[in-house]
Structure 1
Amino acid sequence: MSVDRSYIRVKAMLVIPSADGSCHLVSVNAPTIENPSGFHRLIGGSVELGEPHREAIVREVDEELGARIVGLKHLGMIENIFRFNGEVGHEIVALYSGTLDPVPAEEGGTLTESDGSIVPVVWRPFDDTGLAMPLYPAGVDDWIRSSLE
């Protein structure tokens, strides 16, 4: 399913810390021209027309993971300007934190995208120094660390 990147998209994404606070849940995405080994992305997705971003993250997590968010907290907004297979993309992301019920498995977890595709999810360390797989939205690493301290 092709995504129209000709306009600024509004997203809602969730930082989901593990029980011990050492890592957070991310999706593992396929290789692109810019990231030949793939990339990690926070859980979440697009805000629909007329939908508040708080409702969007609740809906996205339910649709993708079949889970309920516990302790939902709005952290702030982040702007993400990027390239995806050569095309420029631009997003404004409402960033949230919270835990999930049920808690995702430590290994072998997946989420279901809006097009029905199944994508792996993994626990990414908060201290990801030296980790080759980039995290998107871009610039969120430092923002997450400072917001969750």
Structure 2
Amino acid sequence: MPIDRSYIRVKAMLVIPNADGSRHLVSVNAPTTENPSGFHRLIGGSVELGETHREAIVREVDEELGARIVDLEHLGMVENIFRFNGEVGHEIVALYSGTLDPEPAEEGGTLTESDGSVVPVVWRPFDDQSLVVPLYPAGVNDWIRSSPEVVARHADTRQ
């Protein structure tokens, strides 16, 4: 079933650094009209009616990855206006950071979407300027690159 993009959606997404703080976990998504090479997206999803964005990210990570979030920290809000196969979308994203228990494998990891489809996950470098595959929501790119202290704090708690 296609997603109704006729209204602003509220989402919660998680920046998940690896143990040394050099990479973070993202889902690998299929090509679109705007991104013929596909795109990467932070882990997370829509906030459901009656739940907080904090409750939503905990639920989404459990549903998609079967994991628990450790040291969950709210980082801020990001507004994302975009096109997906020519259709305009608009979302407000509550951005969090934290680590996962258990942590996904270095390679071959997957997540399960709400429709039952299985999507690969990969560890994307924080220093991603040379990658051609974009990261969404786009508003997180500058934030992630300008906030290494948050990444370092979460990586330090696991060493």
5+ long unaligned stretches in structure 1: none
Q: Does 1:65 align with 2:65?
A: yes
Distance 1:87 1:28 in 2: 20
Q: CA shift at 1:102, angstroms?
A: 0.2
Residue in structure 2 matched with residue 76 of structure 1 by the alignment? 76
Partner in structure 1 of residue 146 of structure 2:
146
TM-score, normalised via structure 1 length: 0.98
Give the 3-state SS of the residue equivalent to 1:77 in structure 2.
strand
Query: What do the CA deviations read for 1:96-137 (whole angstroms, capped 9, x no partner)?
Result: 000000010000000000000000000000000110000000
Residues 1:34 and 2:34 are matched in the alignment? yes
**What code does the residue aligned with 2:40 have?**
H
- Residues 13-24 of structure 1 mapped to structure 2, 5 A cutoff: 13-24=13-24
Q: Structure 2 regions of 5+ residues with no counterpart?
A: 150-159
The one-letter code sitting in structure 1 at the alignment partner of 2:106 is E
| 1:139 positional shift | 2.4
Identical-pair percentage: 89
AA at the equivalent of 1:11: K
Contact 1:75 1:147 in 2 (8 A): no
CA RMSD of aligned residues (A): 0.6
The aligned counterpart of 2:92 is: 92
Aligned amino acid, residue 84 of structure 1: F
Distance 1:47 1:104 in 2: 23
Instruction: Determine the structure 1 residue equivalent to 2:9.
Output: 9
Q: What is the deviation of 1:50?
A: 1.1
Partner of 2:137: 137
**How far apart in 2 are the matches of 1:83 and 1:63?**
26
Distance between the aligned counterparts of 2:148 and 2:43, measured in 1? Answer: 17
Instruction: With the length of structure 2 as denominator, give the TM-score of the two structures.
Output: 0.92
Count of residues in correspondence between the two structures: 149
